[in-house]
């Protein structure tokens, strides 16, 4: 199994962290992984995206032109990267930030109000973690256990309450979509 993922949005949304979380979860499962970030010169509000490839086989290159899954946290990133999603792929958008995602009949589109859900759970700053969990739940690219281990490792420096909140948000994102797995990844 190989899953090519692109997470895209603007700087400050935790795009690169969400990608690191998925990549580290893949490593925790002894899989081949690449994580390839790209971002503008701006500290906040500039373009940010990263590609993650998780595979059971050797990965020849971290660079790919097509993806099995896209998480878009801005209208611009959705418009820019939607054409690069392979037929049969999964696109997850934050409905609070991408209200009118263009439709394609050859992909599975999920519109999740991640900002609102994350805020209701304690902090809208965890929307990226919720969407990463939803992606993993939907595609099966990483197990919940591996994601939790990766989060604990990445969040070791966080205060315990914030780490607990991130775990709760991750669990919700994963479990809400795990029963709707896509066969693509």
The per-residue pLDDT for 33 is 98
pLDDT band at 25 (very low <50, low <70, confident <90, very high): very high
* pLDDT tops 90 at residue 181: no
Nearest CA among 68, 59, 3 for reference residue 34: 59
**Per-residue DSSP letters for 85-144?**
EEEEEEEEEETTT-TTPPP-TTSEEEEE-HHHHHHHHT-GGGHHHHHHHHHHHHH-SS-H
| Model pTM score | 0.93
Domains of the chain by residue range: 2-178
- φ, ψ at 140 (rounded to 5°): 75, 20
Average pLDDT over residues 20-32: 98
CATH class in words for 2-178:
alpha beta
Tell me the three state secondary structure of residue 34.
strand
Choose between 177 and 83: higher pLDDT: 83
* pLDDT tops 90 at residue 121: yes
> Which residues, at least 6 apart from 166, have a Cβ–Cβ distance to it below 8 Å?
126, 129, 151, 155, 158
pLDDT (tens digit per residue) in 57-67 = 999 999 999 99
Choose between 183 and 119: higher pLDDT: 119
Q: Would you state the structure tokens that stand for residue 126, as one six-digit string?
A: 């965890």
Mean pLDDT score of the chain, rounded to an integer? 92
- Cα–Cα distance between 37 and 19 in angstroms, integer? 8
Question: What pairing do the DSSP bridges indicate for beta strands 67-72 and 2-10?
Answer: parallel
Choose between 109 and 46: higher pLDDT: 109
* pLDDT tops 90 at residue 138: yes
> Which residues, at least 6 apart from 90, have a Cβ–Cβ distance to it below 8 Å?
68, 69, 70, 107, 108, 110, 135, 138, 139, 182, 184, 185
The per-residue pLDDT for 178 is 77
* pLDDT tops 70 at residue 49: yes
> Which residues, at least 6 apart from 92, have a Cβ–Cβ distance to it below 8 Å?
69, 70, 71, 72, 110, 111, 112, 131, 134, 135, 138
């Amino acid at each position: 199994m190989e899953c090519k993922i692109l997470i895209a949005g603007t700087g400050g949304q935790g795009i690169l962290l969400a990608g690191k979380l998925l990549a580290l979860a893949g490593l925790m499962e002894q899989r081949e992984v690449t994580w390839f970030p790209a971002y503008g010169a701006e500290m906040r509000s500039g373009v940010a995206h990263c590609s993650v490839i998780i595979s059971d086989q050797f990965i020849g290159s971290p660079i790919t032109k097509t993806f099995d899954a896209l998480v878009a946290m801005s209208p611009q990133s959705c418009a820019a990267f939607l054409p690069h999603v392979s037929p049969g792929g999964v696109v997850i958008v934050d409905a609070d930030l991408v209200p009118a995602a263009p439709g394609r009949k050859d992909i599975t589109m999920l519109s999740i109000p991640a900002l609102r859900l994350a805020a209701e759970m304690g902090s809208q700053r965890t929307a990226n973690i919720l969407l990463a969990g939803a992606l993993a739940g939907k595609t099966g690219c990483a197990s919940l256990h591996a994601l939790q281990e990766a989060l604990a490792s990445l969040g070791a420096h966080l205060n315990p309450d914030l780490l607990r909140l991130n775990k709760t948000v991750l669990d919700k994102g994963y479990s809400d979509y795990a029963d709707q797995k896509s066969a693509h990844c």
